[in-house]
Structure 1
Amino acid sequence: MSDATENFSSFITVNGAKLFLDSTDGRAAALLRRRDLLHPTATALWQLAINSASWDWVIDVGANYGEMLVGTDLPSGSTVVAVEPNQRVLPYLARSLQDAIPTATILPCAVSDVCGTATMHEDLTWSGNSTLEGEWVAERADHTWRRIDVPALTLPKLLTEIGVRRDDAVLIKLDIEGHEGTVMRTALGSLRDLSRCAVMVELVRLCEADLSWLLTEFCVTVLDVHRSVLVSADGMSVAELSSLIEEGDVHQRDVLAVPRRDRTSRC
């Protein structure tokens, strides 16, 4: 990764810190035009999750430029980990965290259902679309894509490698463009074993079967965007949750999911 000064001439200021950006990337260009975060209600949900407990670990899987870490107030005692396989954005992520959260660790890998090497479909037009799920490429046929091999870990293996213990409280953001269900299914047992755990899961490309599974295995809450509070979706079907989201009163992109100890556990 290059650290030439000219690489870091483009940035925005969020939460009092600089977020460095590659201005040739469409997603970065959108951030530069807005001069602010692209999804403020997602940030609000993430901040509520951060504030909901004393977390030992805050882990951002699919960190991109790091705005969900730089743009929020993190607990001082937490260990912060950013996971991002895209070599294009990694130098900017590293520079932003170096300044804003110097104790943060960056893992340059993907998270999947197997360890080893995975094929990432990198969107050269909009870095945030890069994914391990190749079928999504057709949705953005007007974008430029390339296939590259990246190192991959399962979420349980990642937690082990960074030193998470069973008695730790762990908060995870999982935004990996359609691969969330696969990763969550692989990790369910490990997440249940933690003393406390919550996962902010992106819904944008989550299929109906994965959403149904999520509602069964996790206590799911959504963000009421008018009152800025979390609202339980416990007992809802996929259709009911989808209807609630479509009404526009709750944040539409992500939910907060806490693993049930078993399927009969109430939230």
Structure 2
Amino acid sequence: MKLKAAIRKPFLMRIWENYPKTWKFLIDLGILLKYKTLNVKKLPDKVILPCSNILFVNSEENRGRALLISNGITQKRLTYFWLKAVKEFKPDLVVDVGVNYGECIFSTIYPLNTKIYGIEANSHLLKYINRSKDVHPNKLQIKIINAIASDMDDEEKIFFIDKHWSGTSSAAYIPSHNFIEKVPIKSIAIDTLLSGDWSYEAVLFKVDVEGFEAFVLKGMTNLFKNSVSLLGFIEFNSEYIEKLGICVEDFLIFLKTHFTIYVYKKDDTLVKAVNLNYIDLQNLFGTNYIHTDFILVKDESIIEKLELTIQSL
């Protein structure tokens, strides 16, 4: 297997971690080109999403500014998946772990019977999230929880808020730059949050927590076992997982116990990963470092309805 050290990290990640001033310059340039000003008071504090929902953002923070530049869509792969999943899957439970500003959870309108939970550990984002919630058509169905989703309840964790780019705030990963605020916060397991109500016909979830995914998913096992059909989207970052002392192979075995795994390649096509192991992933991407997204499926009948491009491994 040929290792490609030069691409161990995605290009943009390397910039905002190692060159925050350069990243800020690029964001400012985008703002200037779009709005013809860098005066924060003249910048909008919200984005109108394609579905006409409103997403409130902090126009002084880089990820908020990136959402302004991109009309509220910075993760096209996730947004496409989420919109199709809600439309075709019609979930009766939605769980978004790692809400950030709410680019995912507020991107669509849900069935009237859907219970919707959003978990976000960064308290600085709550006022924007709650403003977006308050004007959302499903506002009475949405609950926002300020906590770290984990496999244990009421543990005090240290959450590292990345003041330079809120999307890389994490309980697991400390960026190399100095724009960090350390905040203590309590943990909660999703199974506990649901108060024993673990049996659903259709569960849709997203977990994007910068390497902490293994703990979050372990705290959802009762939900996985008791629900009829599940469809999930998670970020997979092998470097962050290993930094937490988790064996990547063990994490993959856990996932295979509950789901069929579909892996996004760089061109956004999906590979159905039957009997997937870590070496297979390294060979697939041609590198020892893997940063991609997985779709997790229990009851594969739904996957065809999502109109995704799927290849054989």
Q: TM-score, normalised to structure 2's length?
A: 0.68
Aligned residue for 2:124, secondary structure, equals coil
Q: Secondary structure at the match of 1:183?
A: helix
Match of 2:274 among 234, 238, 249: 234
Q: Residue 41 of structure 1 corresponds to which residue in structure 2? A: 77
Aligned residue number for residue 128 of structure 1:
167
SS at match of 1:67: coil
Checking the alignment, whether the CA contact within 8 Å between 2:151 and 2:216 is kept in structure 1 is yes
Q: How does 1:105-144 map to 2 (within 5 A)?
A: 105-116=143-154, 117-133=156-172, 136-137=173-174, 140-144=175-179
Q: Contact conserved, 2:102 with 2:129, CA < 8 A, in 1?
A: yes
Matched to 1:221, the amino acid is Y
- Counterpart for residue 260 of structure 2: 219
Counterpart of 1:235, as a letter, is: N
Query: Is the alpha carbon distance of 1:211 and 1:115 closer, same or farther for their aligned partners in structure 2, counting shifts above 3 Å?
Result: closer
Cα offset, 1:65, TM superposition: 0.6
**From 20, 36, 39, the counterpart of 2:56:** 20
Kept in 2, the 8 Å contact 1:173–1:199? The answer is: yes
Whether 1:255 aligns to 2:288 is no
What fraction of aligned residue pairs are identical, expressed as a percent?
A: 24
Match of residue 97 from structure 1: 133
Q: 3-state DSSP class of the match of 1:37?
A: coil
For 1:214 and 1:50, the matched residues in 2 are separated by 26
- Tell me how far apart the structure 2 counterparts of residues 93 and 124 of structure 1 sit (CA, whole Å): 17
Higher gyration radius (CA): 2
RMSD: 2.8
Aligned to 1:171: 204
User: 1:49, 1:256 within 8 Å by CA — same for their partners in 2?
Assistant: no
Say whether 1:80 aligns with 2:116.
yes
Asked whether the 8 Å contact 2:198–2:222 carries over to 1, the reply is no
User: In 2 relative to 1, CA 112–11 (structure 1 residues): closer, same or farther, beyond 3 Å?
Assistant: same
Residues 215 and 237, structure 1, Cα contact 8 Å, conserved in 2: no
Residue 199 of structure 1 is matched in structure 2 by: 232
Residue 185 of structure 2: aligned partner: 150
Partners of 2:202 and 2:82 in 1: how far apart? 16
Q: Could you list the runs of 5+ residues in structure 1 that have no partner in the other structure?
A: 1-5, 261-267
Q: Which runs of 4+ in 1 moved over 6 A?
A: none
Q: Name the CA shift for 1:187/1:167 in 2 (closer, same or farther; >3 Å).
A: closer
AA in 1 matched with 2:220: A
Residues 215/112 of structure 1: CA separation in 2 closer, same or farther (3 Å cut) = closer
Tell me the residue number matched to 2:29: none
Q: Distance in 2 between matches of 1:52 and 1:244?
A: 30
State the one-letter code of the partner of 1:150: I
**Equivalent position of 1:182 in the other structure:** 215
1:265 corresponds to:
none
Question: How far 1:157 sits from its partner (Å)?
Answer: 0.8
CA contact (8 A) 1:65 1:93 kept: yes
How many residue pairs end up in the alignment? 243
Q: Distance in 2 between matches of 1:231 and 1:43?
A: 19
Q: Cα distance, 1:232 vs. partner?
A: 2.3
- Offset at residue 38 of structure 1 (A): 0.8
**Equivalent-residue separation in structure 2 for 1:150 and 1:243 (angstroms):** 38
What is the CA–CA distance in structure 1 between the aligned matches of 2:86 and 2:270, rounded to whole Å?
Answer: 12
Any gaps of 5 or more consecutive residues in structure 2? 1-40, 243-247, 300-313
